[in-house]
Amino acid sequence: MTAPNPSIGRIYLDNAATSWPKSPQVLASVTDYLTHCGATAGRGSYQSAVDAGRWLLDARSNLARLLGASQAHDIAICHSGTHALNAGLWGVLRPGDHVITTSAEHNSVLRPLFHWQERMGLEVSIVQCDASGTALADDAIGLIRANTKLIAIGHASNVTGKVQRLEPWSQLAHAHGLILMVDASQTLGYLPLNVEQESIDILASAGHKGLRALTGTGLLYVSPKCQTNFMPLMLGGTGQASEQVQGLNPWPLSVEVGNLNMAGVVSLAVAARELLESPDGLSDAQGECHWKSRLQSFVMSLRAIDGLEIVGYSPPFEVQDRIPVVSVRADGWDVHDLANILDTAFGIEARAGLHCAALIHQDLGDQHNQGTLRFSMGHTTSAAAIAYTVDALRQILAEEAA
């Protein structure tokens, strides 16, 4: 870990990878669980096992409420966003199916799809995104075939922070009887989402980014319709029907197979409850998230730095349809060198590179595929940390120019 800046505290701007800090309530509940319970869910009838089982039910039910799903049963707890995405895709796709996705997706969508294209005869089409990092549903219409089964779309780019409008994708999918799968890893906790209102069939997400559960958590919502014939990614013990060695575990145990990360389950239950019960802690009186005004001032200050390009933004540089992720490139600079100087000379933790998004960078005008320097704020990133970061960048670029 980088030495903290003495006056401002730690400047952690990689919340899109995983968020820090977690909330005091999450930390207190996890500590209490580890200290006084420590048992696992669904494996015994003694009191601490029952308590662990309650945490699992709470996690599923709080997440269902947060996502507007009608039943807690429609949520499965996962180990990461990657696990949730792989489990969701594998659950419904079969050899010979055709999938439409976009160039803005994370590799945890692209890699399984391309691997299964090579190994099991899946067919994959990509809709290219625009210079902001979003793709148009209209561009997917001509790609629909007789065997098209599913559209996989990210709710926001983890490189540019641009939020994808889901409504046109939902309309397209349902007009053609396709499954709509949404990757909400970057938006959950930052933006409201309602799977029933938006007609989302499958929603996969990390739990440890904007939602602020522990790293090593994820979740998968699958609509009752898609739970039928859902193919499990893994098989094994669930604590139920232990005499059987054949047959598939029923949903959601088909995904929650093996012992879960119980500290993570507790953190999911509490993080989701916090968002449900006290959104005021994260929003102002008008319901606007605190991060939004800080993001706007960050973008405006970055814009004023000579030689710095804010990737995926154009005038008037508004943040209305953004999450708190900003990527930059600087004339004549390798983004990795910039990240290194920010870390070592200023104690600012930010990430450089392709951000596990293999296909978006060319669409963002990055001919050499070097990627971006990405700053991702969290719910509690302070205005002082933002001002310090802008100042550091200004100094670095000004020294280079001198």
**Interface with ligand PLP (CB under 6 A):** 17, 80-82, 106, 108, 154, 158, 183, 185-186, 206, 218, 356
Question: Between residues 218 and 378, which has the closer beta carbon with respect to ligand PLP?
Answer: 218
Q: Which H or E run contains 329? A: strand 325-330
Question: Between residues 275 and 392, which has the closer beta carbon with respect to ligand PLP?
Answer: 275
CA dist 213 and 215 (Å) reads 7
CA dist 161 and 323 (Å) reads 5
Question: Between residues 80 and 101, which has the closer beta carbon with respect to ligand PLP?
Answer: 80
Least distance CB 18 / ligand PLP (angstroms) = 7
Count of beta carbons in the 10 Å neighbourhood of residue 310: 19
Question: Between residues 17 and 214, which has the closer beta carbon with respect to ligand PLP?
Answer: 17
Instruction: Determine contact, residues 253/247, Cβ cutoff 8 Å.
Output: no
Least distance CB 47 / ligand PLP (angstroms) = 32
Least distance CB 73 / ligand PLP (angstroms) = 23
Least distance CB 357 / ligand PLP (angstroms) = 8
Instruction: Determine contact, residues 184/208, Cβ cutoff 8 Å.
Output: no
CA dist 137 and 387 (Å) reads 38
Residues near 283 by beta carbon (within 8 Å), at least 6 away in sequence = 289, 290
Of 257, 234, 105, whose CA–CA distance to 181 is shortest? Answer: 105
CA 263 to chain centre: 20
Residue facing ligand PLP at closest CB distance? 81
Question: Between residues 133 and 347, which has the closer beta carbon with respect to ligand PLP?
Answer: 133
Least distance CB 360 / ligand PLP (angstroms) = 11
Least distance CB 82 / ligand PLP (angstroms) = 3
CA dist 292 and 161 (Å) reads 12
Question: Between residues 218 and 347, which has the closer beta carbon with respect to ligand PLP?
Answer: 218
